[in-house]
Chain A
Amino acid sequence: MSEPVPSSLPALTMHAAADLLTRRQISSVELTTAVLDRVARVDDQVHAFITVLADRALYQAEEADRRLVQGTGGPLTGIPLALKDVLCLAGERTTAASRILEHFVPPYSATVVEKLAEAGAVFVGKTNLDEFAMGSSTEHSAFFPTRNPWDLDRVPGGSSGGSAAAVAADMALGSLGSDTGGSIRQPAALCGVVGLKPSYGRVSRYGLLAFASSLDQIGPFTKDVTDAALLLQAIAGVDPRDSTTSPVKVPDYRAALTGEIRGLRLGIPAEYFTQGMQLGMDEIVREAIRVLESRGAELVEVSLPSTKYALATYYIIAPAEASANLARYDGIKYGYSAGAPSMWENYNRSRGGGFGTEVKRRIMLGTYALSEGYADAFYRQAQKARTVIKHEFDQVFRQCDALVAPVSPIVAFRLGELLDDPYQMYLCDVCTLPANIAGITGLSVPCGMLNQLPVGLQVLAPAFAEETVLRIGHAFERSGHFRPGKPNL
């Protein structure tokens, strides 16, 4: 007995669409066409995409339909997805939202992109971000800011603002972003979608334009936790091209979605609730935690005293690594080149002209933190603090199975509101940074609205315990306490 096909195909979740595709009630070409129509209608308000890949997407959709007809499809076959424009897709522009790579076309694809393509997914386009993933609002894109679908005068968060907004606005059924200090979780919370940062080493970084090598991870944006499990399943795993990936076996993430959290111990870290939260935020998050308790989880008060060092630790290590990772953008081999008459002048003018202000700020910070006379006090000290922060998590995870906390101290702010004060912008990430520093996994799941803007609940678990965060997020969804709506677009 088949169900009627929903009137809005783009509004489908990935798993619902996969179901309809498998039963041949819809085709991927139909689904993809509907999604592309939606993009055409709505993206001139949201500006989630830097590049829309209409022709390529339809070609992929036709391929997918052939596989589906033969019965050789999988959970992602024919599903339209978006990719943060920091993931290389061979033959298509990959810009990092930067002028210095505005016309760069890589001849190779990222491992995660290859995996999705092999699974038969369809790529709708490359989404907008803060330049080189440095930011929390997507306002630092060199091209244009992305708008929050819930309120077009507000930011979608960052740095993966485009990927979050695309899913929130039904311009893709799911998307990939990257999270270095919160760049998946924070925009997911601000846009009212699910966002997952896998543990460091869970997903290959090969083909991800590097920001901070020891912090970056690629992860999914989806409409529900089930979809997040599906997308993680497709991209997780060891990669011989990335020496930092882990050989830890990839479990069946969907099997973790039992809805059962009885007996799970949830730690409430005191320090995450004193970070200058917006009025009303604390209450919404605590209410969500009580819902989990009502489903049988045990709550435990815990403390992570070194949380206050996370911001400084991050803003030394990340820029330091970035200052080296971005040294290759020199206007000599590819990308923007100033064409100056002498070598050093060309270096300076290409990089000076090609990079935006925030990127230059971080390169300078990072170079300074590594420079002779300062490296011990800054870089090395930050690495020591990093070890302390990680050990603290290890210890806390003996008292509980997961941590629950806010994602962002504030809901989506207005465009331009925090641009004059970089430090205030950095404070957006105080609750998300520590997970990257420690290499653990974190999920953001929509848990309420504040002033008609989305609020996310953050769930953190030890490295390689993605099953735990997915299980908890899924159980929260199943409770029915909060059913996310759709923005009016």
Chain B
Amino acid sequence: MTWEPVIGLEIHAQLLTKSKMFCGCSAAYADMAPNTHVCQVCAGMPGVLPVANREAIRQTIMTALALNCTIPEFSKFDRKNYFYPDLPKGYQISQYDLPLSRDGSLAIEIDGTAKRIGITRVHLEEDTGKSIHPGGGYSLVDLNRCGVPLMEIVSEPDLRSAEEARLYFMKLRSVLLYLGVSNGDMSRGGLRCDANVSVRPAGSAEFGAKAEVKNMNSFRSVKLAIEFEIARQIWVLESGGRVVQETRGWVEETRETVSQRVKEHADDYRYFPEPDLPPLVISRAWIQEIQAGLPELADARASRLAREYALSPLDAAQLTVSRAMADLFEQTAALLTANKRAVANWLLGEFQRLLNESGIEADQQRNVRAEGLASLITMVEAGTLSSSAAKTVFEQYFRVGDSPEELVSRLGLRQVNDRASLEPIARKALAENAAAVADYRRGKTQALGRVVGAVMKEMKSANPALVGDLLRELIEQGNAG
């Protein structure tokens, strides 16, 4: 029996607005001492009322437009009612049946083919506080995060493998970073992902029972958790069992999903329209304005970079997968007058290699900046730095963050370009490598390499090109003399 996995992802992204969704508190709550970043409104105290954040609505509509969604003329907020200590009002203001957008899509590339993943809806709600369970029979509640604007993006169950899910997630993340609406950070809750996973016999049109998988806290765990869950469900079915429709949590330590406490009653959120917030009438004019203000997205940027910088389409595409990478490219190129393509080589080569090794994305690294990279490239151009020395410097720059100039001084990697220092060593090398010189004179030009090598061994920071020129000159002089 071949099984087909069916996966849908629900992504929550905290929006990068200045203030919270329904009050004037700053949305930058991270790293604040607990319960110091709240006001009476986001703490849900008696008598307070919510006031909607227009910028959050704009960012949500902008995201929806970038995902090809339809924006209705009329939308509203609803109360989602449940009790939990980190939900101070006892209800969350969210959207139920008239969300800000519906029916969009995002294309991913799998095995060289484009695949369209449907997006059911993009809506807006407020984040809850945080519960911390230190163990010992009590829990702690921190309300700092209450009210931060949260955008929810729900995909259709169009994904058919853990890898497709990962690609969709990474592409969606890239779109959000391009739009500047999210910091894409899974480790601190800026971006969250839940997966609905089920399997069915290949060719069947019916859906199997699905499990909702939560607690995937990194890009890697998204793929691992979904892979595990698919395998688990197949194992259950092939053993003659039934897949239970339930919520399961991913456990990083043991690399498995486990059933979360089975609830006695299904959740009934008793949704009803939020009476404290008038419904939203979304004018077509405003939508057009937002559409016109959409930042350049990946594909458009790739075309432009290919054109403006004479890059190959492949290089341009790879540079623009991540907005951070594309930004670094353009910022660095702006600081150089010539050979801007060298920037692309560095970023797609050494930089990408180091990112892969460190297991991070371009937007997650902090050390390499446009100024540093530009100065490194300039030094290589000027001959101050050999290309191999440059790689060493770059790697240090990436890891440690010290500027390339500092590193070059400290590591003594400045290329020696002055003839006066090089000449005695060159003469000595010629004298000690007479056989190679003889081969060279006979026409074996590569033989010079051995002499160059001897010079380099003696003085590591010699500019090899210059050494070659000097040796040839000395040999000529020798011939003449």
Instruction: Please report A residues at the B interface, Cβ cutoff 8 Å.
Output: 87-88, 94, 96, 101, 104, 106-108, 110, 205-210, 212-214, 240-244, 320-321, 323-324, 326-330, 332-334, 343, 347, 367, 370-372, 375, 379
* B43 contacts partner chain A, Cβ-Cβ < 8 Å: yes
Q: Is B88 in the interface zone, CB < 8 Å from A?
A: yes
Which A residues are in CB contact (< 8 Å) with B51? 240-243
Which of A101, A104, A209, A328: most chain B CB closer than 10 A? A328
Asked if residues A328 and B278 are in contact (CB atoms below 8 Å), the reply is no
Complex alpha-carbon distance, A101 and B45, angstroms: 11
Q: If the complex has contacts A214-B275, A243-B276, A370-B81, are A101 and B46 also in contact, measured as CB distance less than 8 A? A: yes
Q: How far is the CA of A456 from the CA of B276 in the complex (A)?
A: 32
Q: Would you list which residues of chain B between 48 and 66 have a CB under 8 Å from chain A?
A: 48-52
The CA of A205 and the CA of B81, in the complex, are separated in Å by 22
Q: Contacts of B83 on A, CB cut-off 8 Å?
A: 327, 330, 347
Residue numbers in A under 8 Å from B98 (CB-CB): none
Bound-state Cα–Cα, A256 to B246, Å: 64
B417 to chain A, nearest CB (A): 68
A107 near B90 with CB under 8 A, answer no
Give the shortest distance, in Å, between A159 (CB) and chain B (any CB): 16
B85 to A332, Cβ gap below 8 A? yes
Q: Within 8 Å CB of B147, what residues of A? A: none
Could you say which of A205, A210, A328 contacts B88, with CB atoms under 8 Å apart? Answer: A328
Q: Which residue of A lies closest to B84 (CB)?
A: A343
A-B contact pairs, 14 of them (CB 8 A): A87-B47, A110-B47, A207-B48, A210-B46, A213-B276, A241-B49, A243-B51, A324-B81, A328-B89, A330-B85, A330-B90, A333-B45, A372-B268, A372-B270
Known: A324-B90, A327-B90. A244 touches B81 (CB 8 A): no
Determine if B272 and A106 form an interchain contact, defined as CB atoms under 8 angstroms apart: no
Chain B residues, Cβ within 8 Å of A108: 40, 45, 47-48
User: In whole Å, how far is A339's beta carbon from the nearest beta carbon of chain B?
Assistant: 13
**C-alpha spacing A367/B89, complex, angstroms:** 15
B272 surroundings in chain A (CB, below 8 A): 320-321, 324, 370, 375, 379
Separation of A88 and B48 alpha carbons in the complex (Å):
10
- Quote the shortest CB–CB distance from B23 to chain A (angstroms): 9
Cα distance A212–B272 in the bound complex, in angstroms: 13
Contact status B90-A328, CB under 8 Å: yes
- Contact residues in B for A212 (Cβ distance below 8 Å): 275
Chain A, residue nearest B90 (CB): A327
Instruction: Look across to chain A and name the residue whose beta carbon is closest to the beta carbon of B51.
Output: A243
Q: For the complex, is B99 an interface residue (Cβ under 8 Å from A)? A: no
Which residues on the B side are within 8 Å of A320 (C-beta)?
272
B276/A371 in contact, CB under 8 A = no
**A96–B46 contact, CB under 8 A?**
yes
CB of B91 within 8 Å of the partner chain = yes
In contact, B47 and A106 (Cβ under 8 angstroms):
yes
Contact (Cβ within 8 A) B45 A343: no
Chain B window 268-287, contacts with chain A (Cβ cutoff 8 Å), 1 for yes, 0 for no: 10101001111000000000
Output the nearest chain A residue to B137 by Cβ-Cβ distance: A341
| In contact, A328 and B44 (Cβ under 8 angstroms) | yes
Q: Are B141 and A328 in contact (CB under 8 A)?
A: no
Contact A375 B270 (CB under 8 A): yes
Inter-chain CA distance A332–B139, complex, in Å, is 12
Q: Tell me the nearest residue of chain B to A341, going by C-beta.
A: B137
Q: B276 to chain A: which residues have CB within 8 Å?
A: 213, 242-244
How many whole Å from B54's CB to the nearest CB in chain A? 12
Are A94 and B278 in contact (CB-based, < 8 A)? no
**Is B49 a contact partner of A242 (Cβ separation < 8 A)?**
yes
Asked whether B20 is an interface residue with its Cβ less than 8 Å from the other chain, the reply is no
Q: Chain A's interface: helix, strand, loop or mixed, by majority?
A: loop
Q: Is B79 in the interface zone, CB < 8 Å from A?
A: yes
The CA-CA distance from A377 to B90 in the complex, in Å, is: 24
- A213 and B141 form a contact (CB under 8 A): no
In angstroms, how far is the closest chain A Cβ from the Cβ of B136? 13
Check if B49 sits within 8 Å of A343, measured CB to CB: no
Residues of B within 8 A of A330 (CB): 83, 85, 90
Given contacts A320-B272, A371-B268, contact A327 B81 (CB under 8 A): yes
Contact B52 A243 (CB under 8 A): yes
In contact, B47 and A324 (Cβ under 8 angstroms): no
With contact pairs A106-B46, A108-B40, A327-B81 given, residues A367 and B270 touching in the complex (Cβ less than 8 Å): yes
Which residues in A have their C-beta under 8 angstroms from that of B88? 328, 333
Contact call A324/B91, Cβ cutoff below 8 A: yes
Chain A residue nearest in CB terms to B44: A328
CB distance from B390 to the nearest CB of A (A): 57
Whether the pair B79, A324 counts as a contact (CB closer than 8 A) is yes
Q: When chains A and B are docked, how far (Å) is the Cα of A367 from the Cα of B275? A: 16
Shortest beta-carbon contacts, A-B, top 3: A327-B90, A213-B275, A370-B270
- What is the chain B residue whose CB lies nearest that of A207? B47
Instruction: Give the nearest-CB partner of B50 in chain A.
Output: A243
Q: Are B45 and A334 in contact (CB under 8 A)?
A: yes
Return the chain A residue nearest B40 by Cβ: A108
Known: A244-B276, A343-B85. A106 touches B45 (CB 8 A): yes
Residue of A nearest to B85 (CB): A332
Most chain A CB neighbours (cut-off 10 Å) among B52, B79, B268, B276: B276
Contact partners of A334 in chain B: CB under 8 A = 45
Bound-state CA distance A407–B40 (Å) is: 37
CA distance A20 to B139 in the complex (A): 60
Q: Report the separation of the CA atoms of residues A241 and B276 in the bound assembly, to the nearest whole angstrom.
A: 11
Given A214-B275, A347-B83, check contact A206 B47 (CB 8 Å).
yes
A-side contacts of B275, CB under 8 Å: 212-214, 244, 321
Known A-B contacts A213-B275, A379-B272; A333 and B47 likewise in contact (beta carbons under 8 Å): no
Q: Report the minimum CB–CB distance from B278 to chain A (whole Å).
A: 6
> What residue of chain B has the Cβ atom nearest to residue A204's Cβ?
B49
In the bound complex, how far is the Cα of B357 from the Cα of A88, in angstroms? Answer: 59
B46 is contacted by which of A88, A213, A244 (Cβ under 8 Å)?
A88
Cβ contact within 8 Å between B46 and A328: yes
**C-alpha gap A94/B272 in the complex (Å):** 28
Q: How far is the CA of A101 from the CA of B270 in the complex (A)?
A: 26
Query: What's the nearest-Cβ distance from chain A to residue B160, in Å?
Result: 32
Q: What's the minimum C-beta distance from B273 to chain A, rounded to whole angstroms?
A: 8
Report the separation of the CA atoms of residues A332 and B138 in the bound assembly, to the nearest whole angstrom: 13
CB nearest to B48 among chain A residues = A206
Please tell me which one of the listed residues A243, A326, A329, A372 contacts residue B49 in the complex, with CB atoms under 8 A apart: A243
Sample of 15 more A-B contacts, CB < 8 Å, known A101-B46, A240-B51, A379-B272: A96-B46, A106-B47, A108-B45, A208-B47, A210-B47, A213-B275, A214-B275, A242-B276, A243-B52, A321-B275, A323-B81, A327-B91, A328-B46, A371-B270, A372-B268
CA distance A110 to B91 in the complex (A): 22
- Chain B residue with the shortest CB-CB distance to A212: B275
